[in-house]
A = this chain, B = another copy of it.
């Protein structure tokens, strides 16, 4: 079985050329289908390549052609979160149309790891770098930004650095959720939010509060729970909220994880409060959960598009694209106050 040593070298172009009885350069031309190669020569070279199982060495090619690869890097949170994977999928499809490949790495929400992954990508000479940042200080990237490696920030704006970004209309989405509930007569509306230091969360919290204030409503103030970071914590927070007297009649959760937690927390409650969650999710329709939806795949696609424009030489000031949101009413957000 292991007759072949694992370290057999792959055939090189030189060997193909020798076998075909032509020079290195001619072999190169033939395989790249450049003009001005005699048909017979071309065929001879390609036959030799097939015979040897030759495959172009992309690394060598890239070095010669300008030391920049056809790779685009994505550093994101956790691919296992459907939000990130939907975004990644959108990116990948868009890039593929331009012959670019996507390298991904998870930063596990760790700023130090994020930085070292960005480093690793830059060493590989990626053509562009897409980041869903965890850390909040991106100044260390500013040197890079000026050196020809375009950055695009997704979901969270760059901090201390001018770069392209694709964001979600967080404040607007949160506002519309609050208004949706207010319009149905809710006054005691609870807010369950993730870490305030993360910009999208801040936007959603602000939007919510803004809508409440605009409605002259302050009954929500005792029902705010922020910095709720995981599903279990959200489940507990919701249980505690519903144990209050008077209990809130509606709940707004600011991301998919928290919505999951809320659904678990409300699972055995008979008279469920109204619920609206930010981020759509897979079985929301079956569960009848009203959400603030946005197109995650589009988010990725737009980011990839911005990156591609920069790669293609576009210069100019940093741009920001905002993905709009819309409420999808499925029942849970339309329950009247008790």
Q: Which residues of A are in contact with B by a Cβ distance under 8 Å?
A: 1-2, 4, 6-8, 10, 53, 55-60, 62-63, 67, 69, 71, 78-80, 82, 84-86, 88-89, 92-93, 96, 101-106, 119-125, 143, 146-148, 260, 263-264, 267, 281-283, 285-287, 297, 310, 313, 315-317
Contacts and interface: CB of A to CB of B under 8 A. Distances in A.
A6 B89 contact: no
B71 A67 contact: no
B59 A69 contact: yes
Given A1-B316, A78-B89, A67 B60 contact: yes
Given A58-B124, A80-B86, 14 more contacts: A2-B316, A53-B147, A55-B123, A57-B123, A59-B59, A59-B69, A60-B67, A63-B63, A79-B92, A92-B105, A92-B106, A96-B105, A101-B120, A260-B282
A96 B105 CA distance: 9
**Taking chain A's interface residues, is the majority helix, strand, or loop, or is none over half, making it mixed?**
mixed
A53 B264 contact: no
Contacts of A78: 89
Nearest to A86: B80
Nearest to A2: B315
A57 B67 contact: yes
Contacts of A92: 79, 104-106
A15 to B, nearest CB: 13
Given A102-B105, A106-B93, A8 B148 contact: yes
A2 B310 CA distance: 12
A120 B96 CA distance: 11
B53 A297 contact: no
A257 to B, nearest CB: 10
A125 B260 contact: no
Given A78-B89, A106-B89, A281-B282, A59 B67 contact: yes
8 contacts: A4-B147, A6-B148, A55-B123, A59-B59, A82-B85, A92-B106, A101-B120, A282-B283
